[in-house]
Amino acid sequence: MIIVIIGPSGSGKDTQAQLLVNKYNIPNISTGQIMRDEISAGTPLGNQINEYISKGKWLPDDLAVELLRERLSEPDCEKGFLLNGFPRTENQVGLLDELLHEEGKTLSVVVRFILDDEEVINRMVKQKEGEEIRPDMSESAIRGRLRSYNETIAPIVALYKQRGILLDIDAKPSIQEIHTTIMEQLAIRGCKPHA
């Protein structure tokens, strides 16, 4: 089973991702974590990634796919995985399709967490109350990222909706309520936890 999770920062997708990987006994593959690991290891690829990140730029698609290709070839991905943080663009949807095809795999479901912008901002600002606010966590920076997310996610959502694999989840209820809804919807789609 291969699950992709998409949603804005602050929507609870990371929390739900962890609950799902525990339930399904599959790895949680975060492109952000893969990039941080490469940078920490000081690999040539990590240095290349750091150049983009330090300039506030997105990683080029070919580099992002290469990172994923390496990670997906590891044995723990044989029974499936959860992918968090990819695809971020319409082009990456096609690249992910190609990569999965090379591995003889298909995408099972795309779980999209839906939360209005004001709620995202409230959650993210509230998380940081009492802390010194980093420039990238200011309300205006969060609004900018949300604008960018909303623009880039629309064509991705349309593609997955057209394929019939999009699962929209309201991200307002409690963590447990959301998890229960996701599990029920995945079961309806035939996605069962591994024994």
Q: Summarize the annotated binding site for AMP as residue ranges.
A: 31, 36, 85-88, 92, 134, 145
| Structure-block tokens of residue 156 | 């991705």
Residue 92, amino acid: Q
Annotated binding site: 31, 36, 85-88, 92, 134, 145, 173
Q: Which residues contact 20 (CB under 8 A, 6 or more apart)?
A: 3, 5, 26, 28, 82, 179, 182
- Burial status of residue 99 (CB atoms within 10 A of its CB: 0-12, 13-18, 19 or more): middle
Distance CA 12, CA 27 (A): 18
| DSSP state letter for 26 | -
Distance CA 139, CA 131 (A): 14
Annotated binding site for ATP: 173
| DSSP state letter for 56 | T
Residue 85, amino acid: G
Within 13 Å, how many C-alpha atoms sit on residue 154's CB side? 5
